[in-house]
Structure 1
Amino acid sequence: MKRRNFIQKTALTSGALSLGGALAYGSDKNSDADYHFNLKYAPHFGMFKNSAGDDPIAQLNFMAEQGFTAFEDNGMMGRDVSLQTKIGETLARHNMTMGVFVVEKGGNMANTLAAGKSEYIDIFLDGCRRAVEVAKRVNAKWMTVVPGGFERNIPIGIQNANVIEALRRGAEIFEPHGLVMVLEPLSDSPDLYLRTSAQTYLICKGVDSPSCKILYDIYHMQKNEGNLIHNMDLTWEEIAYIQIGDNPGRNEPTTGEINYKNIFKHLYEKGYKGVLGMEHGNSKPGRAGELAVIDAYKKVDGFM
């Protein structure tokens, strides 16, 4: 499922300065709920609309009541300022951590930074500047960046240099505010520039900024490279954010082939206290499907 379609499907009507920063950042366990998760799983708007209704604030309240201590919203930059403010206030009231939202640059494939074109870079940098203001309203720390597609008429080394240079300029915008853009390798299309954790690690090392780290999306990386725990360990010092989705289907854990209980146990034992974004759909419709999502997370969270 492409990110643009995923955001549309899961919108209201239904996208650490280092890993050490991710470990330190966030809230204590949520006192509103009877069940306390071991890790900070972050639902999104639309995931529980049958249980909580269409109102986004009611949905946040429901998430807190179920024990979730984080939240993410790919489309946050497109929401009204007044709603952004209310979201920030509601998260603070429930002591919930705000996860990622997507930096607007025209879509995953659009305005590719690999091309090195000034007009594309200007669009990206404008998105970064606007993202700073959004982050202040919702108390966000991490913003997703997808560099765009391959520029196949340019040698890969030149593409890498173009992406690194553009991201350095983005990092300069985020650094004074303690914000972090997290680069997400995707499986949606072979034409996307960023595809593997190793490649993303290389780019982050090239940018060499505490404001440019890896978003390790387990669903996408299972499709593109597998060997999940090993590859997370190899790139660990650059990982600042993790997202979830089982494969095939991109639904909740326990519906596919990924052993999420083992993965979450591994992350917990490594001391990961950052956010795990629930960037997936529900395998079953209606309220019953929403309760099944909650039950699935309780099951895979039971690794203690």
Structure 2
Amino acid sequence: MGAPGGALLVVGDVITDVVARHRGPLAPGTDTAAAVRTVPGGAGANVACWAAWRGGPEVQFLGRVGADSAAWHERELTACGVRPSLVVDPRAPTGTVVCLVDTDASAERTFLTDSGASLRLEAGDWSPGLLDGVAWLHLSGYLFFSAPCRALVASALGSARARGVPVSVDPASTGFLSGLGVDRFLTLTEGVDVLLPNRDEARLLTGLPDAADAAAELSRRTPLVVVKQGGAGALVARSGAVRAEVAAEPAVPVDTTGAGDAFTGAFLAALLTGAPPREAAAEGCRAGALAVQQVGARPRGTA
């Protein structure tokens, strides 16, 4: 899928993550001890970094940041092997997410999100020339949750269709999906080639409680659907049926932030280098397992 040797272009959010790892319930009205770190994040930027980590296609990224941390984010993306195109917002600061990670549970996380500049990408930030040399376009689901970003999505999808460039989408957030509306999201993503929801997003998008049933149902409208299930692996569905169940790799979770992004990045890079969907999903599971064993949502070292 996609032109051999072409680049992967990821469009989406780049965020400053403040990760607070605490043990047990938060103590209202007083202090809760935590280990706190500030690291680069954002679902779209994370996907790009994990794709570059896996290796294969050149990886490019388009996102919007504030002047407050534009240089830092550009350095961090470049250090991961990504070629960034960052639009500096004249009014809004870079988005910030506070990630609360409970180390007593399975490293489950809760997000407090200030999207800042990330959801201010707009149609004027897009140019068809961004697809020069690009074999695949990936859109972060967060782009569908603001009017300016939706205008950019419409332009990007139009350009991709005109050039025959395949498009993938990761729905990104059950909370934001509920706010936008399932029917509206499904309408906005009509014609995409690959959908990469997690289990909860797949259930929400279909109203079906079983992840396999949800994957099969979604694949009736999107040619390839891959449902990420964390420690339960992944489901690969086509033409109304689950075609493969891929096991997760063993991992002891430390911080699950960005695990789905890791899966998506490695999956897309593998797909672009010729791997069939089942093998690409196995590569995604490998990346996800590595992601949960470290603090922060970006890869460390080489694949």
Q: TM-score range by the shorter chain?
A: 0.3 to 0.5
Considering fraction of residues, name the structure with more strand: 2
Normalising by structure 2, we get a TM-score of 0.38
Q: Which has the higher helix share?
A: 1
Structure 1 length as normaliser, TM-score? 0.38
